[in-house]
């Protein structure tokens, strides 16, 4: 019999949409100890949710959109860290090919939609059309207008088919985005994260803001509303997103009972080949 999880929707009340976080508000920095403890607890709940999705055959899509350097990738990484990649997979599509540019706009995303028992996390999605494509001139105004007409219907179709569609927008202040960009410039291990498009997003901050506002007006629908994440504090943003995600899908704890390892078969004369016949990697540590 399924055990009721402490991470069910009842235990994680969703934040009312009328309660809007104040961007740029000053709050005490969360200690690393508290953050790690809460993250570990929530990741255990994510494993329970994963098993519920697999066993119950749910189909879940989570879209991660937002400003460049707002922390989408970090949140996705923490969500999937302890999950089975056969159940929870990340889709981060590159720029469309010449052939894909001639297809129906949503066509390149359809093959990545989940089957029963799967959760797909889109690191950016079809909303490129309303954001970077529009601001950077990669799409015409008529193509953008068609997207605004088609997208709500496309998403309603997904929901009617039984898919759970969850959309997150990561919002970050101008000052915090600049701080993170400078951090990437100074850190060789992060410099790859800065693309020419990222730099343009800094120069066209207002244009991206206007594009986002219009996108929300057309696509913040009852069947698939936008959930805005105050991402100025990365640690809190990650915890808040995971907690909110757990609140949206009622689940129960289907974790298998503890497993007892069987005894190893007795040695029947196995002789291991000489170690010097195998090519071991160097051990500088």
The distance of Cα 284 from the centroid of its chain, to the nearest Å, equals 37
For residue 248, the tally of other CB atoms under 10 A from its CB is 15
Task: Identify the bridge partners of residue 124 per DSSP, sorted by sequence position.
Answer: none
Whether residue 25 is predicted with pLDDT greater than 70 in this model: the reply is no
What is residue 27's predicted lDDT score, i.e. its pLDDT? 64
Whether residue 179 is predicted with pLDDT greater than 70 in this model: the reply is yes
Token representation of residue 139: 């799409």
Describe the crossing of helices 234-248 and 32-56 by its angle, rounded to 10 degrees.
30
Task: Give the N- to C-terminal CA distance of the chain in Å, as an integer.
Answer: 48
Give the pLDDT band (50/70/90) at residue 234.
Answer: very high
Name residues whose C-beta falls within 8 Å of residue 68's C-beta, 6 or more positions apart in sequence. Answer: 177, 181, 197, 198, 201, 202
What is residue 7's predicted lDDT score, i.e. its pLDDT? 46
- Domain 34-93+105-252 matching CATH 3.40.50.300: the answer reads yes
Give the pLDDT band (50/70/90) at residue 26.
Answer: very low
Domain ranges of the chain: 34-93+105-252
CA–CA dist 196, 188 (Å, integer):
17
CA–CA dist 217, 126 (Å, integer):
16
Contact between 212 and 169 (Cβ < 8 Å): yes
Name residues whose C-beta falls within 8 Å of residue 224's C-beta, 6 or more positions apart in sequence. Answer: 155, 156, 158, 159, 165, 166, 167
Average pLDDT over residues 229-241: 96
Name residues whose C-beta falls within 8 Å of residue 88's C-beta, 6 or more positions apart in sequence. Answer: 50, 79, 80, 118, 119, 120, 121
Give the pLDDT band (50/70/90) at residue 222.
Answer: very high
Nearest to 125 by CA among 98, 87, 101, 151: 151
Give the pLDDT band (50/70/90) at residue 17.
Answer: very low
Q: On the CB side of 27, how many CA atoms lie within 13 Å of its CA?
A: 15
Contact between 170 and 64 (Cβ < 8 Å): yes
Tens-place pLDDT, residues 149-165: 999 999 999 999 999 99
């Amino acid at each position: 019999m399924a055990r009721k999880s402490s991470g069910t929707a009842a235990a994680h009340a969703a934040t009312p949409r009328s309660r809007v976080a104040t961007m740029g508000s000053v709050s005490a920095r969360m200690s690393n100890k508290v953050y790690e403890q809460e993250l570990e607890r929530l990741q255990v709940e994510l494993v329970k949710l994963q098993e519920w999705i697999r066993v119950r055959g749910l189909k879940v899509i989570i879209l991660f959109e937002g400003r460049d350097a707002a922390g989408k990738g970090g949140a996705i990484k923490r969500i999937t860290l302890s999950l089975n990649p056969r159940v929870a997979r990340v889709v981060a599509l590159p720029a469309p090919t010449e052939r894909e540019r001639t297809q129906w706009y949503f066509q390149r995303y359809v093959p990545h939609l989940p089957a029963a028992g799967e959760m797909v996390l889109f690191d950016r999605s079809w909303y490129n059309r309303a954001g970077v494509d529009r601001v950077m001139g990669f799409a015409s105004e008529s193509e953008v207008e068609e997207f605004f007409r088609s997208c709500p219907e496309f998403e309603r179709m997904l929901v009617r088919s039984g898919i759970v569609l969850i959309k997150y927008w990561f919002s970050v202040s101008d000052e915090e985005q600049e701080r993170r960009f400078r951090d990437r410039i100074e850190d060789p291990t992060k410099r790859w994260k800065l693309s020419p498009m990222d730099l343009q997003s800094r120069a066209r901050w207002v244009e991206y803001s206007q594009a986002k506002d219009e996108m929300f007006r057309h696509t913040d629908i009852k069947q698939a509303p936008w959930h805005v994440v105050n991402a100025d504090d990365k640690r809190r943003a990650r915890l808040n997103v995971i907690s909110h995600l757990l609140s949206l899908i009622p689940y129960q704890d289907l974790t298998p009972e503890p497993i007892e390892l069987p005894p190893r078969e007795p040695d029947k004369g196995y002789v291991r080949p000489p170690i010097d016949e195998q090519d071991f990697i160097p051990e500088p540590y």
